[in-house]
Amino acid sequence: MENHFEKRLDPTKLEEGAKSVISLLYNYYTTEKQSDNEAPILSKYAFGKDYHLVIREKLNKLLEYIQANFGEVKGRGFVDSAPVLERAWAQKAGLGWIGKNGNLLNKDLGSFFFISELIIDLELDNENEPAKDYCGKCTRCIDACPTQAIVAPKIVDGSKCISYLTIELKDEIPPEFEGKMQNRVFGCDICQDVCPFNKKAKQNIEPDFKPLPKLLQLSKKEWFNIDESLFTELFKNSAVKRTKYTGLKRNLRFISKYPDNK
């Protein structure tokens, strides 16, 4: 987060002549589940096609629409791919507030959505007020985090977060997390699953987010015996490719030592 700090604060350093930031949310929630209750768990957003590919295409179409209707407009789309303060811009646009788990929460939608931005050189008025914080005294996300990564309301120690440990971390997972991963091998939804606002989450309607039946049907045994060929077949266009085959196998080895995950 310290890298490119100035770019995070000043959109003109990302897109020359920028005058407006358009913030967008895109639902990825799904009611579909892995069939084997004992199988290693993927985060919901990783079931389908890589969201970077899906949303970037939509941002390009939105820019084309703006150009067709408002003349020569220059812009650039971002989806978790550059030093952009995504949650801060979304909050300023009135799309939600920052919850105690650090995620953007929307009163009517919950938090199972991707945040993206279109930074353009067309000046727009923002008539929205920042959303009110509705978390109140609720601490379900803090209490549920098995690695105690939420060290204070709205403050997450990234080095303890299961998403970081299973995706971004390049070294071996530290032994201090033994038995605390709750069977997660790519990402983590625990703090979102317990959030009361996600009771309102609705099934996404994006065809590209529909999971491969073979992925959902993979048994616990098949997961632990996965080879590189099957990995490529299942995750060819998936965000899981970020951790690579070696990373996924590392995660599987780690949780296999502690089958009860308690």
State residue 130's pLDDT score.
Answer: 83
pLDDT of residue 82: 60
Model-level pTM? Answer: 0.90
Q: Is the pLDDT of residue 7 over 60?
A: no
Residue with tokens 């945040």: 115
In a domain, 134, yes or no: no
How many domains, in total, are found in the chain?
A: 2
Note the pLDDT of residue 11. 61
pLDDT digits (tens, 9 = 90+) for 209-256: 999 999 999 999 999 999 999 999 999 999 999 999 999 999 999 998
For residue 130, tell me if it sits in a domain.
Answer: no
In which residue are the tokens 């914080």 written?
133
Report yes or no on 70 lying in a domain: yes
The answer to whether residue 133 sits within a structural domain is no
pLDDT attached to residue 261: 40
Report in angstroms the alpha-carbon separations of 169 from 40, 165, 179, 262: 18, 5, 18, 22
Active site residue 189: no
Residues 131-155 have a mean pLDDT of 96
Judge if 155 and 250 occupy the same domain.
Answer: yes
Element (H, E) at 27: strand 20-27
Q: Could you tell me what percent of the chain has a pLDDT over 70?
A: 92
Strands 113-120, 75-78: pairing is antiparallel
DSSP 8-state secondary structure symbol assigned to residue 260: T
At 94, phi and psi to the nearest 5?
Answer: 85, 15
The pLDDT of residue 136 = 96
DSSP-H helix ranges across 26-157 = 51-70, 86-92, 140-144
Alpha-carbon torsion, ordered 166, 110, 144, 136, to 10 deg: 140
Question: Do 110 and 162 share a domain, yes or no?
Answer: no
- C-alpha to C-alpha distance for 83 and 64, rounded to whole angstroms: 23
Could you give the strand order of the β-sheet that contains 75-78, starting from the edge strand earlier in sequence? Answer: 20-27, 113-120, 75-78
Q: Indicate which residue of 80, 133, 157, 208 is catalytic.
A: 80
Does 237 lie in the same domain as 185? Answer: yes
In 3D space, the residue among 42, 47, 33 whose CA is nearest the CA of residue 210 turns out to be 47
Task: Tell me which residue range forms the domain holding 246.
Answer: 140-199+211-256
